[in-house]
A = this chain, B = another copy of it.
Amino acid sequence: MAKRALEGTRILDLTRYVSGPYCTQLLADLGAEVIKIEKGIGDDTRRFGPFLNDHCVYYEFLNRNKKDFKVDYRKPEGKAVLRDLIRESDAIVENFLPGTMDKMGLSREELDKINPKIIVTHISGFGQTGPYKSRPAFDCIAQAMSGVMSVTGKIGSDEPTMIGLTYADYIAGTFGALSTAAALYHIKANPDAEGQDIDISMLDAAISYSLFATQDFINTGKVMEKHGNRDPSLSPSTTFKSKDGKYVYIHCGKDVHFKKLMEHIGRTEVLKDERFSTAPARMANQDATESIVAEWVAGKNAFDVEAELAELILPCAVVADYGDVVHNPHVQERGVLQTMEHPDGTKMPVTGPVIKMSKTPCEIYSLPPEIGQHTNEVLKELLNYSDEQIAVLKSGDVI
């Protein structure tokens, strides 16, 4: 019985940077055997700072649970090795510029000759089709073009705001993993099913999370504007500054929540005031509504506010910085942050698998690999190459 959900599947990982490696890491966490293919000095992220005792934090975050196979696939002998690997795999994930696979001799037509059941998941900035497909993409570019920067930031400001974390890369990577898993299901469930190509675009993925924004424009011609930290339809619902200089998000716009909050802070007279007694009235008097809450929060420490309101089952959270995140007792008990321990004693903290499955657990079961760490193992055990064949490939600088 398989110990992990995608155990029994093998994925050739022709990705680098963020979106692709994140995708294949999700699949590896779920138990797929992911073989990361590198050539030359390997994935550029291996050389990005910061480092922890020579271990690259960036690379380590995106490449656990994978095997690593070094091969110069520009050489004919390397191409032949790659074809042998494709023959034994269920899927390829790649995030080159569109068209690169064709140039490498790995068009669908060629792949069908090698392994007609192979799934290829293509992840790129703008997708495999469309006028912008050859444009270079980075997370910031996808954020800018997707619209999210135009609605993030202060009310009334014309200045766009970038999300302070990588966004489109991860979303695209997660969609890449979802579609690959679904395609693997399709092949398993349908004995006659053929391989197929999956096209994931960072821009499409980022736009897909926009809900009303595009509809609003199409239906009404109204361009969505920034709503700051406010909920667009309920009040009070925003961030409030506390006595200790932190901020607290309080989301108590529903009548039942607002009533409880006013009772707790000793302001029950507010409930009889028609400016605040209904949800629409509070939205019409948003500044005044918020000032009642602001005054209370200003006199208290942030974590005391959160604890008191949590006790009342009111939606509230301290706006955490990353120190707060690390120290959060709930985050600690959930094991959101985990540590990868290297043989040299280095303890590398990372976020663990989001997915918790009761029978086929997602877990960190192997360290991010060195370049070529599993080349020999894979050549011998999977491809049955002889020692002589391997020696020839080595002497020719192919592997």
Contact = CB atoms under 8 A, between A and B. Distances in A.
15 contacts: A5-B186, A26-B178, A50-B212, A131-B329, A140-B231, A140-B315, A141-B249, A152-B165, A165-B209, A170-B209, A171-B174, A182-B355, A196-B357, A201-B354, A218-B337
Given A160-B247, A174-B171, A179-B355, A218 B349 contact: yes
A152 B213 CA distance: 20
Interface string A342-353: 000000111100
Scoring A159, A182, A193, A251 by chain B CB atoms within 10 A of each residue's CB, the highest score goes to A182
A381 interface: no
A316 interface: yes
A284 interface: no
Given A1-B193, A147-B322, 9 more contacts: A48-B233, A132-B310, A146-B320, A162-B228, A164-B227, A165-B209, A171-B171, A196-B357, A199-B358
Given A231-B140, A249-B144, A135 B313 contact: yes
| Copies of this subunit | 2
Interface of A: 1-2, 5-9, 26, 30-31, 48-50, 52, 57-58, 61, 108, 126-138, 140-154, 158-167, 170-171, 174-175, 177-179, 181-186, 188-190, 192-201, 203-205, 207-219, 223-224, 226-229, 231, 233, 237, 239, 245, 247-249, 251, 310, 313-326, 328-331, 333-334, 336-337, 348-351, 354-360
